Amino acid sequence: MDKLSFVAALITAIAWPTAVIVLGFALKGPFRELLGFLTKLKYGDLELNFEKSLQRLELKATAALPPETAGTSLPLLSPELARLAEASPRAAIIEGWIRLSNAAVAALRSKTGSAPTGRHLAPATVERGLVDSHLLNDAELAVVRQLRNMRNAAVHGVAFSADAGVALQYTATANRLVRLLERRSKP
């Protein structure tokens, strides 16, 4: 075996392991972020429970979001959302996100006189508008992004599973943001 054949064989032998290692390091952050938003993952006999991530989100939301005003008489959760969470936690998470997304667009429209339009709105465009118009600060935006990632896991995760308590916590946090946007967008 000559030197050129040896080098070719060596490259062939280490190409895939090297690619996997490089890809693993490159996607380490996004993969950890995704795992932080799943509530339960089951693959064969392996079952992982990630409900603590929602508790961490709640702590972050408590620190980032201002407290509710004393004059607020509406409950954080509507009875229909509570019933939906019991019947279908995934549907309640999706509904909580839809309400937050609609409130964000309405707040932008109220505050700036315009808002992104179209059938499919890019979340990054709406988020940038919320910060640029001073409706949300960076810490509050981080909570919105975490909620969006959890919503994505609920919508796209085949193995996603959540109980009613997780869905109720999610929708309560989303509703706190809805109220915050409504207060800040009032003329």
The Cα 75–Cα 62 span in angstroms is 17
Give exposure, 122-140, as e/b (b: 16+ Cβ within 10 Å): ebeebbebbeebebbeeeb
Q: Decide if 126 contacts 116 (C-beta within 8 A).
A: yes
H or E element: which one contains 176? helix 164-185
Provide the CA 10 distance to its chain's centre, in angstroms.
43
- HEC secondary structure over 8-56: HHHHHHHHHHHHHHHHHHHCHHHHHHHHHHCCEEEECCEEEECHHHHHH
pLDDT one-digit tens code per residue, 57-100: 777 787 777 776 555 545 667 888 889 989 999 999 999 999 99
pLDDT one-digit tens code per residue, 1-46: 688 888 888 788 888 778 777 777 777 666 655 555 555 555 555 4
Going by the DSSP 8-state scheme, the letter that residue 120 receives in this structure is S
Give the pLDDT mean for 163-179: 89
pLDDT one-digit tens code per residue, 150-164: 888 888 877 777 888
pTM check: above 0.85: no
Residue 48's pLDDT is 47
